[in-house]
Structure 1
Amino acid sequence: MLALVGLLVPMAMTAGAASAAAQTPFDPKVVPGSQVVYVSAPKGSSHATMSLWQRDRDGWAQTLSVPARVGPPGISKDASEYVSYTPEGMFTLTEAFGRQHNPGSGLPYRYVGTSDRWWWVSDVNSKYYNEPYYCAAAQCPFDTTKSENLGQAGPVYDYAVVMNYNRWPAVPGKGSAFFIHVTNGNATAGCVAGPHDAIVQLLRWLDPHQRPVVITQAT
């Protein structure tokens, strides 16, 4: 979801591997693999923290922590097409896209460029709801006024990872187009947004063989 007007957040980054076997802010027993993107925000706040967690034979270690933004009302299980909550829970990460060429993504990466033909369908009446679709606006089999044109969205979609919230099957109205993308410093319309360099690092780090997930939580 596209960024909304908000307050500018410093883009400072804290990187470097933490000590192994660190205590995790999430329940490791529910994690299916060995990579977690953990996003937390105080209840009702769009100001969040995004951290990357890697599991190896010694346990879990945090490898990155950066400021991030979420939807204006924060993170909630009540996310839908009609409010700007960032959905709360654990969601798989299986694909990415961007207006810029692939920076070395470990996930399958769709280059959309600045084309006006790549969409993410948010039309609740479409059978393609919450899926990407390629078409000229006049020929699209859905309402383009209720969908996102990925190539025309600006630098926030230079790089993005798709959060598999409300997919397979997608429930109409429960929410669509939730991504981890580049921040413009503002609150989002429900996505998670982080610093440009952190999103590039995220793309290069994610490994489908490690079954990566994003965990979002209101604290």
Structure 2
Amino acid sequence: MRHGEVRRVGAATVTCGLLLAALAACGGSGAEHGRGGSAGAGAEGGVVPSMSTAAATDLPGVGKRLQGRIPAESRQVVAVYGEGKDSADATVVFYAKRGPTWEPVQSWPGHNGKKGWTADHHLGDNRSPVGVFTLTAAGGVLDDPGARLPYTQSEDFGAPHWWDRSHWHDFDYVIAIDYNRVKGTPPDDPTQPEGEEKGGGIWLHMDHGSGTSACVSLSKTAMEYLLRTLDPDQHPVVLMGDRVALKG
């Protein structure tokens, strides 16, 4: 079996209490989120407005500091362009590196933390962390859609049904963002190497139409595309932040 075809299937290995702690970092309660909200910038599967579609040696809208944090071996980047420091709306662009140039391949509207972004994320601040993070594991309630990343399927990923109904499918598909977690472990692994205060359980997951507690959310179509496209052999990363922070 090729490395890209590795699968983890079965029940979650953590207790329900630990899993809910991880889910809370991503989803929170329905009361925290509320309903509705803007669908974000961009068009499903379309071209990113206000951004050139031409290939470039540097990622558009990203300064040298964050460019330098992208590992040299990375050939895939999920770039999350937040609309503002205090905004929950974002545009997500998937880039592939062809030779020395980054080519935009797909883009989608998305959401980030309901209070926006921060360079110093802490548990409960409702802001997504700015930075570059590896992507090494995926999972969800639904069966593996053909993911290249190791995929853990379990109903234990399901959002509690005391949350608003709009959040019940948030974790049908998830991709773990390697912020304060052990790389390569299943998304619901509760280990937080930097301590609980630094937060954790930050994922790419299904969108419910408004901001999250710290995660980045996308449509089901977008999540399926990323799951089938992100390849461990290409060392994918997510680069994320509001547009001003990304340029800094």
User: Under a length normalisation based on structure 1, what TM-score does the superposition of the two structures give?
Assistant: 0.77
Q: Do residues 34 (structure 1) and 34 (structure 2) align?
A: no
Cα distance, 1:195 vs structure 2: 1.2
Q: Which residue of 2 aligns with 1:100?
A: 142
Structure (1/2) with the larger strand percentage: 1
Q: Please say which of residues 197-206 and 160-169 is displaced more in the overlay.
A: 160-169
Alignment of 1:36-185 (within 5 A): 36-41=77-82, 42-57=84-99, 59-113=101-155, 118=156, 150-153=157-160, 154-168=168-182, 169-185=193-209
What SS does structure 2 have at the residue aligned with 1:152?
A: coil
Report the count of equivalent residues. Answer: 184
Q: Which runs of 5+ in 1 are unaligned?
A: 119-149
Q: Deviations over 1:98-119 (max 9, x none)?
A: 1110111110000013xxxx3x
Q: Please say which of residues 156-165 and 26-35 is displaced more in the overlay.
A: 26-35
Q: Which runs of 5+ in 2 are unaligned?
A: 1-25, 48-52, 161-167, 183-192
What SS does structure 2 have at the residue aligned with 1:203?
A: helix
The CA distance in 2 between the partners of 1:107 and 1:152, in whole Å, is 22
Percent of aligned positions with the same letter in both sequences?
A: 31
Q: Which residue of 2 aligns with 1:141?
A: none
The CA distance in 1 between the partners of 2:194 and 2:154, in whole Å, is 23
Is the 2:57–2:100 Cα contact (8 Å) retained in structure 1? no
Q: Do residues 2 (structure 1) and 27 (structure 2) align?
A: yes
What SS does structure 2 have at the residue aligned with 1:44?
A: coil
User: Under a length normalisation based on structure 2, what TM-score does the superposition of the two structures give?
Assistant: 0.68
1:198 to 205, 209, 222: 222
- Runs of 4 or more, structure 1, over 4 Å off, are none
Is the 1:20–1:61 Cα contact (8 Å) retained in structure 2? yes
Counterpart of 2:70, as a letter, is V
Cα distance, 1:8 vs structure 2: 4.0
Is the 1:89–1:215 Cα contact (8 Å) retained in structure 2? yes
